[in-house]
Amino acid sequence: MRPNCDESIECPCPPVGLIDVVGKKWAMCVVTLLGRNGAVRFGPIQRCLSAVSPATLTSTLRALEHEGLVRRVPLADAGTTHSAYQLTVTGDALYRCLLPLASWLRRS
């Protein structure tokens, strides 16, 4: 997976891994969402993101959890099931790195 630089030109390399981490369709969207709002529950996230299918959202959240970017917070709340998701310290660092990128996208 890693580029092997046999050329005199400089080879960046890192960005390849970035795609694996945040290349999922909704991953950066979720990170940005949580970065702005702190802990958010499953339902609101889903409704906010174009009503992404629950299966896809679950997959995205699990991936982000696995990368240590997001933490799941169960909320013991009188009978019904509740839980929320929030960024870890690492996830928040990534979020701040994404800010210039987000503003670049809003260009033009």
Give CA–CA dist 34/39, Å, rounded: 6
Sequence-distant (≥ 6) Cβ neighbours of residue 84 within 8 angstroms: 39, 40, 41, 42, 72, 73, 75
Residue 91 φ/ψ region, left for φ over 0, alpha for ψ in the -120 to 50 degree band, beta for the rest: alpha
Which of residues 17, 54, 58, 62 is near a second copy by CB under 8 A? 17
Which of residues 71, 72, 86, 98 is near DNA by CB under 7 A? 72
8 binds DNA (CB under 7 A): no
Parallel, antiparallel, or unpaired: how do β-strands 83-87 and 70-74 relate? antiparallel
| Residue 78 vs 89, nearer CB to DNA | 78
| Residue 4 vs 81, nearer CB to a second copy | 4
66 binds DNA (CB under 7 A): no
- Give the x-and-dash track for 33-52 against a second copy (CB under 8 A): x--xx--x---x--xxxxx-
